[in-house]
Structure formats: C-alpha cells, structure tokens
Amino acid sequence: MNPSCVVIGASHAAAEVVSALRKEGWKGDITVFGEESYLPYHRPPLSKTFLLGNQSVEDIFIRNSGLYKRLDVHFILGRRVVEIDRANKQIKLDDGIRRSYDKLAICTGSRVRRLDLKGGDLQGIHYLRTVDDVRSIQKSIQPGQKALIVGGGYIGLEMAASLKKFGMKVSVLELGPRLLERVAAPELSNFFARIHMEEGIEIQCGKSVSSFEGVKGRVTRGICSDGSVFEADLVVVGVGIHPNVELAEEAGLEVRNGILVDQYARTADPDVVAAGDCTNHPNEILNCRLRLESVPNAVEQAKSAAAAICGKERKYASVPWFWSDQFDVKLQIVGINSGYDEIIVRGDSKSGRSFVLFYLNQGQLIAADCVNRPKEFMVVKQIFSKRLEVDISRLSDELILPRDFIVRS
C-alpha cells in the first residue's frame, strides 16, 4: 500500500511542497486540504493587479488544475482541518471525518489581525487576505467616494495606491509616528509618505482609530482617539497578520512566534514538517531564528520540507527578500535591517524615485532597500547568497557600477 502525505493549507508553500515531493521521488498519495474554494494562488497581486481587474482568479493560480492532475495531487477545498492527532497519525475535519497520514506537511500560512472596535462589523469595512476579500472590496469601490486605509504598512500603502487609481479620495491612518515604522528606516518612511502625498493621498500618522460610525448598517466615518473624524465610504484595515499555529500547538508541537522547525523544515515529530509564513526557522546566512512573511521563503522552505518527507536533507539557507509595487515605484528588499547602526544612501531619496538604502551593522552590510534599482538589487542578493566581501566606500558613488561593490581577489 502506498504511503500517504497530507498537506494542511492550500497556500503558496503547499503548492511548492506537492510539486517538490514528486521531484524528490515521492510515489505515494498526496492530498491537500484548504479552507478556501480555490487552488493555491499568488497573494501579492491581490492588492494590485487583481484588485484593479487586470487578472482573473485563474491568472493568479500558482499552477493550473491540469498540472496538479498530472502530478496526481488531490485537493479537498472548502474544508477546515480542526485537529491533528499525532498519536494515531490522523487529521480531523470540520465535519468530524478523520483522514490518516504517513507524513504531514503543515502549510497553514497566516491570517489578518482584526480590530475589535465599536462599529467594526459595519458593512464597507474590509480586510485583505483572500480572493473573496478582494471581490468584496471591489463591490464597494466608487470613483469620487472616500476610502479610508487603517494601517500604514506595505499592504495599506499598496491598497491606497490601487484605490487612488480607481479615482477614489484616499486617506491613510497610521498609529505610529511614521509609515512603515516597524520595518523601514525613516528615510524610506519619508519617501513613501512623500510619493503618496504627491499622488494626492492624505497621510496621517499618530492616529489611533477608536470606533466606526455608520448609517443603515454601512460605515460612514472613522473616529480617532484624539477626536478627529475621517469620512469614509470604504474602509480597508491592514494592521498585520497572525501565523496560523493553533493546530500545531494543540497537537503538542513547539510554537514560538511560529511553528518551530529546523533548517530542513522538520518539526520535533519525524513525520511532520512545516513551511511558509507559519514557521519559525533558523537562517544561517542571518545567523538567527525568525519567521518570514514572504513568497520566496515559502518557495524555498517548501523544497526543504518535501525533501525531508522523502527522507533526504535539503538545507534551507536562502537570502530573505521582499518587494512592493506602488504607483511607478518598485521596492525590492534584500536582507533584514534589524539592528542597523548606519545607513548609506545611493541616489536621491529626498526628491527622486530611484535610490538605494544600504543598512550596516558595525561596518557590515546586513540589508538593502532598492527603489527602482534592479541592478543593485541583483548584486546585493548575490553578495548575501555567496557571502562576498563588499567595499563599503563604493556603495554611495553613482559613478561606480553595482557589480564593482564586490571586492575581487
């Protein structure tokens, strides 16, 4: 009898796990359980091209149904796994049915953080995480009406840019003293505040939304703790996400800001792996443990998880990188800037729309924010992945080509 692999969550990591399993030689059954009614899809377009109507659902599928059929992967969608029984190697579904497994991959991803506020259940207040979320938002979009974005992170700013393209009057409210406070240097925060204001978007920092008010069950305005009022026909809340770790934790797996895995995506249970947003993993390039919310992380970690299921070891040791598209700006980030003590600027961040922020710690390059600078982005990725030596004195000089940042022996 063929062994069976069950994958919980129809996420990006899940799509990569099932494909990698076949490449690694897994001959057994593969079944994926997903709460949504769609095959795994790309989430980054949700706030941009998919929202704007430039892509269909099928366009954002990671792989089409035909390929999964050729891989002999079975999807059970619109169903929720409510329990992992590791002792009996079974999962339990929301209808009480149990399914056995020989190997289990937890790819449960993450969910949005919701506001618990008076009026928070009014119609017209939305969160963005799924295809159905976007379809609900699209029904509320009306050119000339007012859109209120709660949260000045990347999702909030991408939504603001997209809604502005629809001709809406957009305001962004951020609790912190500046945009992107948790993840970016003041130089990048100031840049994004500037370009959004140049595009006609209102930016208000230091604003804590305390309640929403509405008429006939539909939101009409947001009220802040300082008494300020913002009229709104549409509200989108983007204040972070929670990793979906509850199933793993209730099953007795160790959880610490994510499901704890090793560099091979293995949990403490030899028959259970995990990959994607829901994991806390070691990264030897950064020399630390962390949880990453990014597509590249899900892709590479899933390959390690698939290898582990097949009894092999494929070390996950990738350079973290991220991106964001807003108006005519493509931001590409390499590394993690936590702990930086110096910033070197290449280009004009104060009035232009093309520059790089290099983050240093004790003279060592630890991250870079590349704004419309694809060449610098590619070189910095190479520097991190191959651990190349960098001449820091060359970084700010625009006359020096990016490839010449690297010290040649």
Clarify whether residues 301 and 274 are in a common domain.
Answer: yes
Residue 363, both tokens = 């003279």
The predicted pLDDT at position 397 comes to 98
- Rounded CA-CA distance 94/110 in Å is 19
Confidence of residue 312 (pLDDT cuts 50, 70, 90): very high
Domain boundary among 223, 239, 255: 239
The predicted pLDDT at position 341 comes to 97
Q: How many domains does the chain have?
A: 3
Q: What is the mean pLDDT of residues 37-50?
A: 97
Domain boundary among 217, 239, 261: 239
Clarify whether residues 129 and 224 are in a common domain.
Answer: yes
Q: What is the distance of C-alpha 140 from the center of its chain?
A: 24
Clarify whether residues 156 and 214 are in a common domain.
Answer: yes
Which CATH number covers residue 80? 3.50.50.60
* pLDDT tens, position by position, 337-391: 999 999 999 999 999 999 999 999 999 999 999 999 999 999 999 999 999 999 9
**H-helix or E-strand spanning residue 170:** strand 169-174
Tell me which residue range forms the domain holding 214: 125-239
- Rounded CA-CA distance 33/305 in Å is 17
The whole-model pTM stands at 0.95
Clarify whether residues 283 and 349 are in a common domain.
Answer: no
In a domain, 53, yes or no: no
Long-range contacts of 213-217 (CB under 8 A, 24+ apart): 213/119, 214/119, 214/122, 214/123, 214/124, 217/122, 217/123
